[in-house]
Amino acid sequence: MRKVLDCALNFKGCACQLIVIFSLFFMLFSPVIAQPTPTPLPPADFGDVPDPTYPTLLASNGAYHIIGSGTVRLGSNVDAEPDGQPHPLALGDDINGLSDDDGVHFTTFIVPGETATLLVISSTYGYLNAWIDFNNNGSWADSGEHAIQDSYLFPGLTWIYITIPANAIGGTYFYSFPLYHISRFEL
């Protein structure tokens, strides 16, 4: 019995030594792993709805579009910012540099159960989508909130009509109107 106990103790001691040796080995010979340098983002235009309620900042996976020739965008003005510009009234980008949230213009009130009319200005051909937080719960993922799905736009002005859900909560609505090069259904 004592022999068995001795063996067990010896084995345990050996295991500990091996662990020490391996640790030393890795401390002495482990390669230095270079941290990748973050690639600087080209000049980009971000959103400005409140964050963290909605995803606006890069850290929240906020949407942005690169500024440059051949890129799609809504509106006439555009300016770059290094990150999203969250603001309680979604005015962060409007009051920072150019007032460049000028691509979507509602020409009617948003009344539950009625059709709202809006004018959008597109820089080029593209697929317009819109998410509107109709129940004002801080999410665009609720049923019926993907209000425009791949509406094909030509360059210039386009009238858009949206049927507002009867159960929409009145007041201020936060929305996102991204324009894509290709249909989301082809992604």
Q: Which residues bind Ca ion (CB under 5 A)?
A: 45, 48, 79, 90, 93-94, 96-98, 100-101, 133, 135, 137, 139, 142
Min CB(170)–Ca ion separation in Å: 14
Strand partners, 105: 119
Closer residue to Ca ion, CB minimum distance, 85 or 127: 85
Closer residue to Ca ion, CB minimum distance, 83 or 142: 142
Strand partners, 4: none
52 preceded by a cis bond (ω within 30 of 0): yes
Min CB(18)–Ca ion separation in Å: 57
Closer residue to Ca ion, CB minimum distance, 146 or 180: 146
Give the number of other CB atoms < 10 A from CB of residue 72: 20
172 Cβ contact list (under 8 Å, min separation 6): 89, 136
Min CB(141)–Ca ion separation in Å: 7
Closer residue to Ca ion, CB minimum distance, 139 or 163: 139
Gyration radius (Cα) of the chain, Å: 27
